[in-house]
Amino acid sequence: MSSARTIRDPVQDHLLTPQNAVMVVIDFQPEQISSVTSRDRRQLVRNIVATAKLARLFGLPIVLSTINVASGSNKPMIEAITQVFPGVESIDRTAINAWEDEDFVRAIKATGRNKLIMAALWTEVSLVYPALDALRGGFEVFPVIDAVGGTTLEAHEMGLERLIQAGAQPTTRLQLACELQRDWNREKTAAQVAQILSAF
């Protein structure tokens, strides 16, 4: 069996690699999830958890953020996600646009990574606004489209269209898994990737 040669610098690769990307998860809180109507909410949670497990498996830096938890207006990020990232504290904000929160932007920049794999609720708000700002700031943005949802199907679709027109590169959890794995001869992660994919 032949194996793929390492012909690319994993940091400079134009595709996503474990060495050049960061995972950003925004506002996966009970209130936001309960108001999603653009897709089945149980499937949405399964999709974001699978995406989170991929990020953990490949050792990506993780930035988590919530809105209005400290004020008591909202509940924390769901445990299904925080259990995947023990010890990673969510950055709580009052700003609707996470990019307008200094701690959030500082955390992104501290990773030293330029490719942002993003999932946020809602698509049309908490994904679109920081993604547009990140793109304008020179970052590449990869929204995981089957791990996000909007208050309506139209809002979700229009949010994604706005991002695509601005230069975002949509991906899916399956596409992300294969892009990070790249070669099934990479045995350190292959079996776990297959296990995560089988749960889709």
1 in a structural domain: no
7 in a structural domain: no
Two tokens, residue 144: 């995981």
3 in a structural domain: no
**Residue 107 pLDDT:** 98
112 in a structural domain: yes
Find the CATH number of the domain harbouring 134.
3.40.50.850
2 in a structural domain: no
40 in a structural domain: yes
Tens digit of each residue's pLDDT, the chain (200 residues)? 555 566 788 999 999 999 999 999 999 999 999 999 999 999 999 999 999 999 999 999 999 999 999 999 999 999 999 999 999 999 999 999 999 999 999 999 999 999 999 999 999 999 999 999 999 999 999 999 999 999 999 999 999 999 999 999 999 999 999 999 999 999 999 999 998 888 76
**Residue 199 pLDDT:** 73
**Residue 13 pLDDT:** 92
Give the residue among 145, 150, 194 at the shortest CA–CA distance from 172.
Answer: 145
4 in a structural domain: no
**Residue 5 pLDDT:** 60
| Domain span including residue 178 | 21-198
What's the total number of domains in the chain? 1
